[in-house]
Structure 1
Amino acid sequence: MKWNPHTVKKWFIGANALALMAAVGCSNTPASTANTAVSDGKPSSNSNQPYELTYLTTGDQGAKPLQPNDRIIAEINKRLNIKLNVKIVPENAFDKINVAFASGDLPDVVTTQYPSETVSQWVKEGIIIPLNDYLKDTPSLKAKLEDGLKWTAVDGKYYGYPFISQQEKSNYTIQFRQDWLEKLGLQPPKTIEEFYSTLKAVVEKDPDGNGKADTYGFITNKPIAGDALTAFDFVFYAYGLPYGDWAQDEKGNVIPKFEHPAFKKGLTELRKWYSEKLIDPEFIVYDRPLKEQKFFQSKAGFMDGPLFRHVSRIEGSLQQVNPAGKLGYAPPPAGPEGKQGMAFKGKNAFYTSVTKQAKNPQKAAQFIDFLLSKEGRDLLQLGIEGVHYTKQGDKINYNEEERAKDGFSPNGWSHPLAWGNVTWPIDENYLPQTEPRIERALDSVNVASKYIVPNLVNKKTGSEIEFGKAVNEVYNQYFVSLLNGKLDVDKGIAELGQKWRQAGGDKILKEANDELKKK
């Protein structure tokens, strides 16, 4: 999502595959009904018999670990008549899920990465099953699949719920030291020209007052492994790049974004910034925490990144180092023709499916539906009324002592199962009432969401899944050399196009063109 890694991590990985992180709430289940009764592979007709359901999912780095005897799990068990076992791997650690599947240790329900070669293989081999027959009993799941996600069906069959973030909402913004701009008598830049001038002032006018030329204008970080570097795309959008994924030539054929005229114009601008030391030259080795740390330490005046629930964290961390520090954020700068863009619509998703291991697939589908439903969201976000919170009109009073016993994150944040599988806080528009900068957090989403760039092709093709990492690696290497002036612009872009196609880009373009013709 361009979206929001957080800071506190949780993971449990076993020696052979994945350790059981939680089989909680089971102490509330009578011993006589602790196991699922099956006959000939089918669930028992005894409707009072709890169905033992194992859920394997990726976690959310901002969550606490699940706790023994978790009362939220017990409440889910009671409401769905199941005995839930949860296995959690680190956020984005999809390889750990693949290890479990390769060992034959299949859960009933799994959340993994989509689209991916793995999911495609699971579909072909029948490891995950179609959900169509169970949609009549899963209204929330049915509504979400049939409202905008029909294109994810395979031959008319839904093999999982794909949670694709950053469709209508974004929190990806340009952030800056508002206190520095005030000190320099500057307004937040609205155009590329003003952006350049402001970066130059940050570098040359010593806004931190330490008498040293040790401040860069803009800082970013390297992409996640396998992804393309997109931190500078806001400059290309300003110069007229129309889509977030591809571009088109004069005949309407799909071409790589870097072959659109806007790329050369934007790159020329960026090379000027780089040559004048307005961009931190070491960005390609920074991860996001290190980038933020340098921002807090007054090493840069501007950075890109997510806000929303990060507003309080980022400004709070800034003020720990600089008590007078102020976090500012603004729309991306407009280009010569007034064009702007920041984030692009996402194509990657978390994919939650029922596996062939499920002896009661209907119950497994109903569990997915519960995670998506308002009832489920209320339970995972707030807890049990009278235990984890109370209400006085519209005001929610959080019982932090009781919430901590069940793994809720502090200050009104949610249960470990709330995020990282079927939704994120931004998509639920969820912030606890305890959020100290709630109005700015919500406003940051309103600002960022106005500048989401559409895609030319809605879905990733098979070739893009297969060769995406390889072509992205080629792009990243060439982009850095083009940015720092080691390659001539025209020759470098031409060579990039050749190497990119050799790495699988020719196959990607063919399938993308075929997909575009279906629209």
Structure 2
Amino acid sequence: MNKKKYGKAAVLNVLIASQLLLAACSSDSEKASSESQKYDPSSKLEVSWMAMLHTPSAPTDVVLDKIEEATNADIQFNWVPAASQEERMTAALASGELTDIVSLNLLSNSSIRQSLKSGMFWEVEKYLDDYDNLKEITEETRAAASIEGKLYGVPFQKDIARSGLLFRKDWLDNLGLKPPATLDEVYEVARAFTEDDPDGNGKDDTVGFGDRNELKYGSFKTLSSYFGTPNGWAVDENGKFTAEFETQAYKDTMEYSRKLYKNGYLDKDFAVTPKNDQMDKFAQGRTGIFTGLVGLTGLMNLAEGIQNEMEIIPVNKIKGPDGEYHIWSEDSGIGGLLAFPKSEVKTEAELKRVLQFVNDLMDKEVFMLMTGGIEGKHYEFDENGAYKILDNDAWQQDVQPFASSRPSDQKHQLKEADPNKQLMKEQIKENAEFAVFDPTFPLESPTASERGTELEKLIIDATIKYIMGEMDEKQFDEEVEKWKKSGGDSMRTEYEEAYKKAEK
């Protein structure tokens, strides 16, 4: 970790240490109460789970039955489509209509943070070391997933930086192009994929960049990190904070995206396109660039039977104007929390049994069920020990939806038989070397907790309008001023004060 990419490493260590100290503080009476309640880990568990669905449809019961058998549980999933998770989760938290386990993936959402801080969910830090898998969650991960030193669920453990660009390699080959290495080369590929008939069908029916109706997981956030934009906020040596959209690099990204859009190299419908439709367009051969390295497998599966000639190459290193690599880190590798509402999990004994269930999800057997399905039916290992899906249709229907609910993507590593899929995994690991972290992630701001999501939407809307040519730079700056007066400056002050305290 160098200072240029991560800020003050020493300060980050202090932040982590201070959070751990707070999280460890509990009274002797609480500890005695904890030890007095017993649970039977062998008892059959009936558990409900509000989980995110990143696929068009929920899974069949084929693999679910095996997961239930391996975990000694009857599982009732309440699937929430990822495209509407923010609205659905906010409504569920407000109404109190929750399940035994709730997947809270958006920890920066104001409503979610407020609910966690309100005492609605169990604190779990003191229990984790009682379980063989959960105890392996590092102190750094626990601290990063905590809010004001309290861990309100089991962290989803993800890779530090999973973003990058996916290109149609067969289209690159058809046009005699190499995978791009600079932003100018990315732009040229987007142009060629739009104007030069990359699929050779003689029709004007392709677009370079496919995209969707969000900045963070669409193309903008990744492109902005290539330009050198801070990840959320930047903090200087004097502890002063600057929001990412107050920087020239952010504006340069807006101008780059605006040019792509104006010339038709960025999907004209991106502002109203959800993730699944973005994936479908790519799989159908209508677009040739996709943002997010982890999307490779899903896109290849969707394309089967439609674009069998499709080849995808992942690219993680795009040089910015400074000649260096930068990629944003998603919440420091924390994909959210598996949280347990006290309204549903009413006693400590019940909590311990549910934690045993989450612990069991991390066993190799269950990990493989949620990743590959049933060996011999959905996947196999070849003679080199590499993992290969046997039946894509069955895998998509029976297995794929479970993957995003695995508590850890890191505990068990699989070698992919497909060289491009293996390259994608290696690039995601390599991203950690030049990841850019959000310095506010371990800090607390009351204004951000109360109104951060609302304020963020103001900037998102302004950015999209600028890209689409519906707003000029002066109007964008006016929206930034509105953000400042509506609470942005208060957030800045609160983050600076929290940062200063952590330094001491």
Instruction: Tell whether the structures are fold-level matches, with TM greater than 0.5.
Output: yes
Classify 1:420/1:153 alpha carbon distance in 2 versus 1 (closer, same or farther; 3 Å): same
- The equivalent of 2:139 in structure 1 is 146
Question: Percentage identity across aligned positions?
Answer: 23
Contact 2:313 2:420 in 1 (8 A): no
Does 1:89 find its partner at 2:69?
no
* Structure 1 residues 508 and 183: CA distance shift in structure 2, 3 A: same
Find the aligned partners of 2:172 and 2:132 in 1 and give their Cα distance. Answer: 51
Q: Deviation string for 1:397-432 (max 9, x for gaps)?
A: 99x99xxxxxx974997598x6444525x434555x
Instruction: Please give the alpha-carbon distance, in whole angstroms, between the structure 1 residues aligned to 2:493 and 2:199.
Output: 52
Q: Residue in 1 aligned with 2:177?
A: 186
2:130 aligns with one of 133, 137, 141: 137
Residue of structure 1 aligned with 2:272, choices 282, 285, 306: 285
Q: Distance in 2 between matches of 1:392 and 1:319?
A: 21
Give the unaligned 5+ runs of structure 2. 1-34
Matches within 5 A, 1:37-76: 50=43, 54-61=47-54, 64-66=59-61, 70=65, 72-76=67-71
Distance 1:253 1:488 in 2: 28
Cα RMSD (Å) of the superposition? 4.4
- Give the match for residue 301 of structure 1: 288
Once residues 78 and 53 of structure 2 are traced to their aligned partners in structure 1, the CA distance between those partners, rounded to angstroms, is 9
d(CA) in 2 for partners of 1:453, 1:246:
10
Q: 1:415 to 1:279 in 2, by over 3 A?
A: closer
Contact 1:234–1:340 (8 Å) recurs in 2? no
Question: Does the Cα contact within 8 Å between 1:370 and 1:376 map onto a contact in 2?
Answer: no
C-alpha separation between the residues in 1 aligned to 2:210 and 2:204? 16
Structure 1: how far apart are the matches of 2:276 and 2:134?
Answer: 35
1:38 alignment partner in structure 2: none
Alignment gaps of 5+ in structure 1: 1-41, 78-82, 402-407
1:372 alignment counterpart: 359
What is the distance in 1 between the residues matched to 2:126 and 2:304? Answer: 54
What residue is the counterpart of 1:467 in the other structure? 451
**What is the distance in 1 between the residues matched to 2:220 and 2:189?**
17
From 460, 476, 479, give the equivalent of 2:463. 479
Paired position in structure 1 for 2:348: 361
**1:239/1:50 CA distance change after superposition, 3 Å:** closer
What are the within-5 Å matches in structure 2 for residues 110-129 of structure 1?
Answer: 110-113=102-105, 115=107, 126-129=119-122
**Match for 1:232: what amino acid?**
F
* 1:444 corresponds to which of 418, 424, 441: 424
Counterparts of 1:385 and 1:268, CA distance in 2 = 49
Paired residues of 2:142 and 2:151 also in contact (CA < 8 A): no
What is the alpha-carbon distance in structure 2 between the residues aligned to residue 128 and residue 208 of structure 1? 52
How many angstroms apart in 2 are the aligned matches of 1:439 and 1:76? 33
Aligned mates of 1:305, 1:463 — CA distance in 2: 31
Distance in 2 of aligned mates of 1:484 and 1:46: 57
Q: Which residue of 2 aligns with 1:218?
A: 209
Closer, same or farther in 2 for the Cα pair 1:482/1:229, shift >3 Å? farther
The residue type paired with residue 498 of structure 2 is: E
Q: Distance in 2 between matches of 1:206 and 1:391?
A: 38
TM-score, with length taken from structure 1: 0.71
Mapped partners of 2:273, 2:38: distance in 1 = 57
Q: How does 1:306-455 map to 2 (within 5 A)?
A: 306-307=293-294, 310-318=295-303, 320-346=305-331, 349-353=336-340, 355=342, 358=345, 361-362=348-349, 364-372=351-359, 376-379=363-366, 381-382=368-369, 410=395, 419-421=403-405, 423=407, 426-429=409-412, 437-451=417-431, 452-455=435-438
Is 1:239–2:227 an aligned residue pair? yes
Q: How many Å apart are 1:472 and its aligned residue?
A: 2.7
Distance in 1 (alpha carbons) for counterparts of 2:226 and 2:467:
17
Pair 253,230 (structure 1): closer, same or farther in 2 beyond 3 Å: farther
Report deviation, 1:465: 3.6
Amino acid at match of 2:462: Y
Change (3 A) 1:314 1:206: same
1:271 to 258, 269, 283: 258
Q: Aligned residue pairs: how many? A: 453
- Secondary structure of the residue that 1:301 maps to in structure 2? strand
Inter-partner Cα distance in structure 2 for 1:229 and 1:411: 22
2:21: which partner in 1? Answer: none
Note if contact 1:296-1:321 (Cα within 8 Å) is conserved in structure 2.
yes
Contact 2:38 2:349 in 1 (8 A): no
Query: In 2, distance between residues paired with 1:45 and 1:333?
Result: 54
Residue 223 of structure 2 aligns to a residue whose secondary structure is helix
Residue 213 of structure 2 contacts residue 270 of structure 2 at CA under 8 Å; is this kept in 1?
Answer: yes
Aligned mate of 1:500, from 475, 478, 483: 483
Measured after TM superposition, the shift of residue 257 of structure 1 is: 0.7
Cα offset for 1:162? 2.6
Mapped to 1, the partners of 2:89 and 2:476 lie a distance apart of 38
CA distance in 2, matches of 1:212, 1:393: 43
Answering whether residue 186 of structure 2 is matched by residue 195 of structure 1, we say yes
Of 457, 462, 472 in structure 2, the residue corresponding to residue 488 of structure 1 is 472
- Contact (CA 8 Å) 1:467, 1:503: kept in 2 or not? no
Distance 1:291 1:144, change over 3 A: same
Output the amino acid matched with 2:207: Y
Residue identity opposite 1:88 in structure 2 = N
Q: Distance in 1 between matches of 2:150 and 2:259?
A: 51
Q: Who wins on radius of gyration, i.e. which is larger?
A: 1
Kindly provide the amino acid, as one letter, of the partner of residue 134 in structure 2. L
Question: What is the alpha-carbon distance in structure 2 between the residues aligned to residue 216 and residue 390 of structure 1?
Answer: 36
8 Å CA contact retained: 1:174, 1:304: yes
Deviation at 1:182, TM superposition (A): 1.2
Inter-partner Cα distance in structure 2 for 1:291 and 1:499: 32
What's 1:18 paired with? none
Distance across 1 between alignment mates of 2:263 and 2:374:
57
Match of 1:32 in 2: none
Comparing 54-63 and 284-293, the one that deviates more: 54-63
